[in-house]
Amino acid sequence: MTVTEAKKLLRLVNVEDMKKKLIGMGDKEMVSYTTLNNIEEDIKRMYKKPQIA
């Protein structure tokens, strides 16, 4: 797998995670920028490598 293919796959996984989070908010008509930003941060934390002290 090339680096480009890996990056593309990671973007697709992130999109699927975002969809799952937004589907859980189906009762809302609008989603604020802050909420979207919080979801994005949650997703980033899920994929961040643990730091070894």
Residue-number span of the structural domain to which 13 is assigned: 3-47
With helix as H, strand as E and coil as C, how does 8-29 read? HHHHHHHHHHHHHHHHCCCCCC
Task: Let me know if residue 52 belongs to a domain.
Answer: no
Instruction: Tell me the C-alpha distance between 40 and 18, whole Å.
Output: 7
Task: Let me know if residue 37 belongs to a domain.
Answer: yes
pLDDT recorded at residue 10: 75
SS3 label, residue 7? helix
Task: Let me know if residue 16 belongs to a domain.
Answer: yes
20, 28, 39, 42, 52 from 24: Cα distances, Å: 7, 9, 12, 14, 33
Q: What are phi and psi of 2, to 5 degrees?
A: -80, 165
For the chain, 53 residues long, the average pLDDT of each consecutive 10-residue run is 77 80 81 86 77 59
Total domains in the fold of the chain: 1
